[in-house]
Structure 1
Amino acid sequence: MKISNINIPAQGNRWQWLLVAVFVYFYWLMLKITLLYVPYSNSVAFLKIKQTEVASHPEYLYLFYAHVYTSIFVLLFGFMQFFKFKTETGRKIHRFAGYQYIVLLLGFAAPSGLYMGWHANGGAAAKVSFMLLSLLWGVTTVLAFVKIKKGQVAAHRGWMVRSFALTLSAVTLRLWKIVIVFLFHPPPMDVYKIIAWLGWIPNLIIAEIIIRNNK
């Protein structure tokens, strides 16, 4: 089993399994956050500070839960795309995970994320960032799908790297929050404005570096 879109040093599989271990750890943390919203409630965790939206926009809760419940699977299926299987069964798993990633992301996660971005805390700066993130998330995923349908495998891989880099913003946003609060102790709304952009722009920069290196 080989992580196909990242250049791994030839020292062996240890680096590959280290990446898997890191992902599993952060995925478990994200899963724990998701489980806070099981069972369905209108006043748990993050929703406690969104009661204005919950009360004034009946659709907010449905779209919020659509985003939460699908994004955790998008994260998993996206990560599975970076494994190269040599068997036919493995290739079927790859295709299955890819289709699930596309359907869940384009059908639920990205549209609901766009709506939530419009209602984000932190003022116009945060709203613009989260809405732009959702739009780019959808566009990069559509392009990845179009390229593989045309048989343009290298271009498909590049757009999948970009798409998954944006998927990982769910993790990196929270990491930046911890770092910024620990080092600088800014007001909560200032933190939100900063991490709204830091959560995904560095990810895209790293994605471009990976793509260029693999060319």
Structure 2
Amino acid sequence: MRLNELIGGAAVTADNARYFASPLPVVLHIVSVTIYSILGALQFAPRFRRRRPGWHRAAGRLLIPCGLLAAVTGMWMALFYPPTVNDSGVLVVMRVVVGTAMAGCILLGLAAVRRRDFARHQAWMVRGYALGMGAGTQLLTHLPWFVLYGTPDSFPRAVLMGAGWLINIVVAEWVLRRRRPQLRTRLVS
């Protein structure tokens, strides 16, 4: 929707003026997140990886820069775009912390695969992907609030946004801990 506004020359409003004033970061963010979201999901499908072993490596070479670009542009927008009415300093800090953590996970995953430590590579990439997909979960954390109370003010909004990232990282850690014995068995055999 935001990309269509920018490309289609939509009317500049209070909600979108910051994007029109500096469109490059948001365009790069949208494109990189879209690629990262769609191709990244396929990276975790074991059957798909087994059937197309070269695909995982080739897609990873595209996904690492896309994930890093998504994290960096997200932090840039948090720090340098004028805040909206319902943004808060707490939310800006959370966005920078999550963006830094996402980039860190991706870089640690890259370092692990270069050492041929595939179990750690997978674990770091799962964490990075979980943080990157926080916006999807944030839709679910915001929905009940919208239904019951309307648009959240700055503090509830920060809590609801943080809940999306927290849910994703908790689920990612739960999945990794459930799979840990399975990963060790595969590495030993």
What TM-score results when the alignment is normalised by the length of structure 1? 0.72
In 2, Cα distance between the equivalents of 1:197 and 1:185? 18
User: 1:102 maps to which residue?
Assistant: 64
Letter in 2 for 1:178: L
2:171 maps to: 206
Q: Kindly tell me: are residues 37 and 109 of structure 1, through their superposed partners in 2, closer, same or farther at Cα, counting changes over 3 Å?
A: farther
Please, which of 167, 170, 174 is the counterpart of residue 139 of structure 2? 174
C-alpha RMSD of the superposition: 2.3
Give per-residue Cα distances to partners, 1:102-157, cap 9 Å, x unaligned.
01122x21111111121344120110111111111100011111111111011111
CA shift in 2, pair 1:161/1:43, >3 Å: farther
Task: Kindly indicate whether residue 185 of structure 2 is the aligned counterpart of residue 185 of structure 1.
Answer: no
Contact persistence 1:34–1:69 (CA under 8 A): no
Q: Does 1:151 align with 2:112?
A: no
Kept after mapping to 2: 8 A contact 1:143/1:159: yes
Distance 1:97 1:41, change over 3 A: farther
Show the counterpart of 2:75.
Answer: 114
Q: How many residues align?
A: 174
Mapping for residues 35-50 of structure 1, pairs under 5 Å = 36-37=4-5, 39=7, 41=9, 43=11, 48-50=14-16
How far, CA to CA, are the matches of 1:168 and 1:201 in structure 2?
11
Higher helix share: 2
* Consecutive unaligned residues in structure 1, runs of 5 or more: 1-32
**Separation in 1, partners of 2:29, 2:160:** 19
